[in-house]
Amino acid sequence: MISKAAEKELREAAHSDVFRNTMHSVADSRQNPFINKGVVDTEAYILFVSEFNAFINHEPKRFEPMLNSDMRL
C-alpha cells in the first residue's frame, strides 16, 4: 500500500512536463534484445529462455499434445 504523501507526489510528477519528456526519452532509447537488424533473432530468444530456466531451476514440464478434434474459440 502506498502512502498518501507518496501518491500525491506521483500524481504531481505525472503532470510534470519534465518528467513526461524524460520518460519519452527513456522509451525512445529502449531496444528489444531479441531483434537484430530489424529481424527477430529466435536463437537469442531460445538462449534467453534456456538460461532463464536454468537460473530459476525449473524442470520443464513434459509436453502433452492436445488431442481434441473439436476445438472452438
pLDDT digits (tens, 9 = 90+) for 50-70: 898 888 886 777 888 877 777
d(CA 62, CA 60): 6
If you average pLDDT over residues 15-34, what whole number do you get?
89
Q: How far is CA 45 from the centre of its chain?
A: 13
Q: Is residue 48 part of a domain?
A: yes
**pLDDT the model gives residue 47:** 94
The domain containing residue 37 runs over which residues?
33-62
Strand-pairing partners, residue 36, are 39
Classify residue 37 as left (phi > 0), alpha (psi -120 to 50) or beta: left
Q: How many domains, the chain?
A: 1
Q: Which residue reads 520518460 in cell numbers?
A: 23
Q: Is residue 11 part of a domain?
A: no
Q: Is residue 25 part of a domain?
A: no
Q: Is residue 54 part of a domain?
A: yes
Reported pTM:
0.43
Q: Is residue 58 part of a domain?
A: yes
Q: Is residue 53 part of a domain?
A: yes
